[in-house]
Structure 1
């Protein structure tokens, strides 16, 4: 009987190890797919899309902020101290963390959908901009804050954690 118990334990161990390996491989593939769909890893984000033809709207701007996307006529840029004052139209700060799945999803949706004309979405690193988080009362990543050209908050923050899509953000902030 001890041999049967030992055989069952070994069989279960093999099944568990196989299941964990399969899940790890799937997560690795999903992560690679998601990274590829948003234009590469966060560490290698570029200021223009690699396949964009010369002279296209997606090329990097000449100011000190790096353009991320400009497919819909608006702008999607990385945060810099001057970007809020330099932006035209509505300005929405997106508090983003590279380790946050909802942030990555929202980032991918913004990039894929394109920002509507007259709107600038400013991607603010959640981890390195604690002063901005405190200034705007941001306590959670995936928070969107609309500000005016002087940086004053225009309305209540919107946390897009449950629905990390550009449509949800624009609907909530309208």
Structure 2
């Protein structure tokens, strides 16, 4: 049997197994839905929440006017993150934040990503460095822009959001490795 015939036979076996076990099929569908739904944090009303610093506080006041509704208030402050913070990425934060900046491409299903996430929360971010947690699964635009193909990729960016350097911390997802990679 050739490789494609073997693959078709295996796929057929999996489909047969799923059809015989509705609970298994339900579990698989629920798992897939859970994996695709981790792009944005939502509150109990189903609306997106503001980016948060690792200690749970918001980096800046949440703007009351949602983007794209036609209203503009030039006096409202641009959201920014303080240096030394670990925040969820949102558009515009890089340009509004001072100091050294790094994008951490994180996937909730990746054990190494979770390890680095936990280390950043437990040990904190080095002084002067702001780490933006980017959802690996939903931000394909950023993955393409920075050439990211693996989760746990760290991309150091300048004030305009242009890449300076990048590294993959998959083998050693630690704050020490992050510090060693700072350009």
TM-score where L is the length of structure 1: 0.62
Q: 1:47 aligns with which of 46, 52, 69?
A: 52
Give the one of 149, 152, 159 matched to 2:159. Answer: 149
Gaps of 5+ in 1: 1-41, 53-57
Q: Paired residue for 1:108, among 89, 112, 118?
A: 118
Distance 2:80 2:107 in 1: 17
Which of 166, 169, 174 is the equivalent residue of 2:175? 166
The equivalent of 2:58 in structure 1 is: 60
Number of residue-to-residue matches in the alignment: 121
Higher percent of residues as helix: 1
Structure 2 Cα separation of the partners of residues 133 and 77 of structure 1: 18
Query: How far apart are 1:59 and its partner, in Å?
Result: 2.3
Q: Does 1:132 align with 2:130?
A: no
TM-score (norm 2): 0.59
Q: Which runs of 4+ in 1 moved over 3 A?
A: 42-49, 63-67
The two structures, once aligned, show a CA RMSD in angstroms of 2.6
Do the aligned partners of 2:53 and 2:87 also contact (CA within 8 Å) in 1?
no
Q: Which one has the largest radius of gyration? A: 1
Structure 2: where are the runs of 5+ without partners?
A: 1-40, 44-48, 63-78
**Matched residue of 1:154: which SS?**
strand
